[in-house]
A and B are shown apart, each in its own frame.
Chain A
Amino acid sequence: MLRPKNWQLWLLLLLLLSLPILGGYAWLVVSSFNQRVHGLVPVGTWSLENWQFLWERIGRRPPIWTVMINTLLLAGGVATLVVSVSSMAAYAISRLHFPGRGVMLGLVLVLHAFPAVSLLIASYYVLVVLGLFDSLLGVILVMSAFLMPLGVWLLKGFFDGLSWEMEMAALVDGASRWTIFFKLALPLVAPGLFAVATFSFLVAWGEFILPYTFIVSGRTWTFSIYLQSLIGDTEMANYGRLGAVGLFYMLPAVAVFLLGQRYLLTMYSGGSKG
């Protein structure tokens, strides 16, 4: 391990700078396990009261496990869709010379720079017309569409790094374009696929505006809607419970991040060859 001189000093500096955020997390943990807190100092006794949402419904809200499954479906669906569609698009843009390739490349870039929120109302109409309003599938489609440009650009970089001679060799060996794509190109850009999948999953997991706009009924609620409802308008917010739900909401994301972080690191360094 290579360490700079005075690494302890740097570490201290970093800790100091991250103190507000670390303090926030500490507050989440402390407040969720106590009846009341005064700042970071617990008041009263240690309690699991705030975690009751795990085994019973809170008010008329859907059970947390339904919400959990919905959110997993949303994030998993988005990750799957983004990876499968953008990998094919990226391969085509990287390898095939079709008419309109340049235009498409430019458009993808423009789309990537386009703020998704400005299309909120338009997407709403499209979903209503398609009969996908108030369904997870509708949100998955819209979210995937917004994440696709990034996926295409990232994966194009990975595919660009593959050798042309290898593909020629495969053609001579008797492979079709599809065989090359599935058996050679995809396995070789696996780090890129995982990176895009992890990234899309995390973005979809944390997304609020789209589910909040396109989902109404409780049975399709996702975590972010659930969380928002706790700060809601009709009752006093229970911050202990809010912290508990927030922590619970965070756990899968942390797990996915830990599993996928080494791929996320390769994301911006382009195509590494297997």
Chain B
Amino acid sequence: MSMARLAHRGVPLQLQGLSKRFGSVQALRALDLDIQTGELVAFLGPSGCGKTTTLLLIAGIYRASEGAIFFGDERVDALHPRDRDVGMVFQSYALYPHLSLFENIAFPLRLKRTPRTEIDRRVKQAAELLGIAEQLARRPSQVSGGQQQRAALARALVKEPRVLLLDEPLSNLDAQIRLHARGEIRRLQQELGITSVLVTHDQSEALAMADRVAVFREGQLLQYAPSEELYDRPADTFVAQFVGHPPMNVLMGTVENGAFVGDGFSTTVPHGCPLGMVSLGIRPEDARVGGSLQARVSVIEPLGREFLVTCRLGDAIVQILSTERPEPDSAGMVTLDFPVERLHVFDADGKRIMT
């Protein structure tokens, strides 16, 4: 209801050749990235991959070593953070501990010398939107973690920013609230139509919340694609194993006569697969029990809806998800099948080949 009154001024966001060095450490290498108006993009990667660095470059906390940042048509990379008009939520929420939630949320407005009555109106509106209107008189230490997180979000949204930056906003929440907050943030972001960047190391969070996901590793962008594509067509073995849980099985071997030969096993590969050294990928849920591959079962873990089966295929360890409990024979062996249409093929450097 009050949603429409929080004006959305989302802009497209463009990063061009963005690099950041800290001394001799190259934290980010020549990043090119486009984010459309109203889109939520997740930056995903292990710690130290450059995702938070990129976020802080967009916010203006760090200054880029090279490259340009555009909000719409405006180049902002030389601007002070206060002139960039971004809202940001930090992992620790970074609320001001000595101020009430009201004053926390009002802080950016006071700095802009907004008239008192308007501050009052907008803070209350933002607080209502996030369901913390009752807590405004309290200090951050007097409310729950979930409420602190909402207050931080309200503070980021109250100034009606052009871009919303979220740095691991959910990782300090309990698992139960986290799922709920995930949906809340996504709903709010879509309703406000605000261009947003979410930094996370949790692949399921990235897949669930984002329109598109950018996967980083060691300061480099590996893949930038919608969630489904990231999952179905990972650009390399790193992305393939980082996205999805349990991770994709990646097996080393060579292709000869239309078959993949691994360490003690072989399986059919798609037509047109190049000869020589490759890595073969198969997701745990795509592999099936019952086929021609002989594997020795090491563990069967019931996960409730399905069974996670860990087994040895030749010298390689393979995990598969099966809806039925597999029945190993007296020697502890089961048979597996890797459907050809479900295989991912990567070259010796780990890059995806074949489409």
Contacts and interface: CB of A to CB of B under 8 A. Distances in A.
A184 interface: yes
A273 B231 CA distance: 44
A166 B94 contact: yes
B97 A273 contact: yes
Given A163-B92, A165-B90, A179-B111, A171 B82 contact: yes
Nearest to B85: A174
A187 B97 CA distance: 10
A165 B91 contact: yes
Interface string B62-102: 00000000000000000001100011101110111110000
A128 interface: no
Contacts of B87: 172
Nearest to A173: B108
Interface string A169-183: 111111110010000
Contacts of A273: 97
B111 A172 contact: no
B85 to A, nearest CB: 9
B94 A168 contact: yes
Given A163-B92, A173-B111, A175-B111, A168 B82 contact: no
A104 to B, nearest CB: 21
A166 B82 contact: no
Interface residue tally of chain B, by bracket?
A: 20 to 34
Contacts of B81: 171-172, 174
A172 B98 contact: no
Nearest to A171: B81
Contact of A175 (B82, B88, B90, B165): B82
B305 interface: no
A174 B94 contact: no
Nearest to A274: B98
B96 A184 contact: yes
Given A174-B82, A175-B82, A169 B111 contact: no
B82 A163 contact: no
A223 B226 CA distance: 78
Contact of A188 (B86, B90, B98): B98
Contact of B61 (A171, A175, A184, A274): A171
Given A172-B88, A174-B112, A166 B59 contact: no
A188 B140 CA distance: 14
B6 interface: no
A169 B97 contact: no
A54 B96 CA distance: 50
A175 B87 CA distance: 13
B223 to A, nearest CB: 28
Contacts of A163: 92, 94
B265 interface: no
Contact of A169 (B90, B98, B112): B90
Given A172-B61, A175-B82, A179-B111, A166 B56 contact: no
Contacts of B238: none
A168 B111 CA distance: 15
B201 interface: no
B86 A172 contact: yes
B60 interface: yes
A168 B98 contact: no
Contact of B94 (A169, A175, A179, A187): A169
A165 B56 CA distance: 11
Nearest to A273: B97
Contacts of B95: 166, 169
Given A165-B92, A173-B107, A274 B97 contact: yes
A139 B123 CA distance: 51
Given A165-B91, A165-B92, A171 B111 contact: no
B98 A173 contact: no
A168 B107 contact: no
A187 B152 CA distance: 20
Given A174-B81, A174-B111, A176-B82, A168 B90 contact: yes
B155 interface: yes
A172 to B, nearest CB: 5
Interface in B142-199: 152, 155, 159, 165
A188 B94 CA distance: 13
Interface in B110-157: 111-112, 152, 155
A168 B82 CA distance: 11
8 contacts: A163-B92, A166-B95, A169-B155, A170-B96, A171-B60, A172-B59, A172-B81, A173-B108
Q: State the 8 A-B residue pairs at the shortest beta-carbon distance, nearest first.
A: A174-B82, A169-B94, A165-B94, A173-B108, A174-B111, A165-B90, A274-B98, A166-B94
Interface of A: 163, 165-166, 168-176, 179, 184, 187-188, 273-274
Given A169-B95, A176-B82, 4 more contacts: A169-B152, A172-B61, A175-B111, A188-B98
